[in-house]
Amino acid sequence: GNSVTQMEGPVTLSEEAFLTINCTYTATGYPSLFWYVQYPGEGLQLLLKATKADDKGSNKGFEATYRKETTSFHLEKGSVQVSDSAVYFCALSSITGNQFYFGTGTSLTVIP
Amino acid sequence: EAGVAQSPRYKIIEKRQSVAFWCNPISGHATLYWYQQILGQGPKLLIQFQNNGVVDDSQLPKDRFSAERLKGVDSTLKIQPAKLEDSAVYLCASSLQGLQETQYFGPGTRLLVL
């Protein structure tokens, strides 16, 4: 079946540190992959996505590359800010387009 | 552009009671989703509507949960009777067409079943 496994948190980083949040997936075929983010007090929102192997999604300084060979979609940012403190969810859409699977979420806190 | 609206924001009920949640998607969005998010877990897709038809409801516990989207716009999700394990945040989302596109989420309804 389809599933998403992401790195457990919480993660605490100092401002300007490098961020990696690991995400691996199990799926039939080649699903679309997503990172959603939930800032404190706000609803879930799309951060970035990739729809095929080797695609790189990017937004707000965050990047993730769809790696078919390692079934991964790790989220990275070169220099985090306090405003990046949030819960990050890795997710996939099944190739049939009928199901969507979220990981358990990784809480990130960035301290000044 | 107005976002996805949900009500109520919070609800406390006793087990075996019934409860209903309402969602109004972004105008023009054909697809609407209901998710259940239990504390400490990622959201779980319960049901997906395309206009007023059900695309997938394989994860919906149909013995107690029901949902409808009359007229292809707003939607209600009902639980009857509620169990303790139904305590969760119920999220509604919408997209233009299907799960490959960006989903826009509402603020959610936090349900506590005592």
Reported confidence tier of residue A89, pLDDT bands at 50, 70, 90: very high
pLDDT (average), residues B41-57:
93
Q: Please indicate whether, in this complex, the C-beta atoms of A89 and B43 are within 8 angstroms of each other.
A: yes
B53 in contact with A at a CB cutoff of 8 Å? Answer: no
Q: Cα–Cα distance between B92 and A86 in angstroms, integer?
A: 20
Q: Any residues with CB less than 8 A from the CB of A29 and at least 6 apart, and which?
A: A95
**pLDDT mean across residues, chain A:** 94
- What is the rounded CA–CA span in Å between residue A27 and residue A33? 11
Evaluated on CA atoms B100, A40, B46, A30, the torsion sign reads positive
Which residues of chain A make contact with B2, given a CB cutoff of 8 A? Answer: none
Query: What's the pLDDT at A97?
Result: 64
pLDDT at B101 over 90: no
What are the phi and psi torsion angles at A78 (to 5°)?
-70, -30
Interface of B with A in 92-111 (CB under 8 A): 93, 98-100, 102-108
Phi/psi at A83 (5° precision) = -70, -10
pLDDT of B1 reads 66
Q: What is the pLDDT of residues A19-68, one digit of tens each?
A: 999 999 999 888 999 999 999 988 999 999 999 999 999 999 999 999 99
- Greatest alpha-carbon pair distance for chain A in Å reads 44
Q: Do A43 and B4 touch (CB under 8 A)?
A: yes
Token pair for residue B12?
């406390």
Q: If pLDDT is split at 50, 70 and 90, which confidence band does B2 have?
A: confident
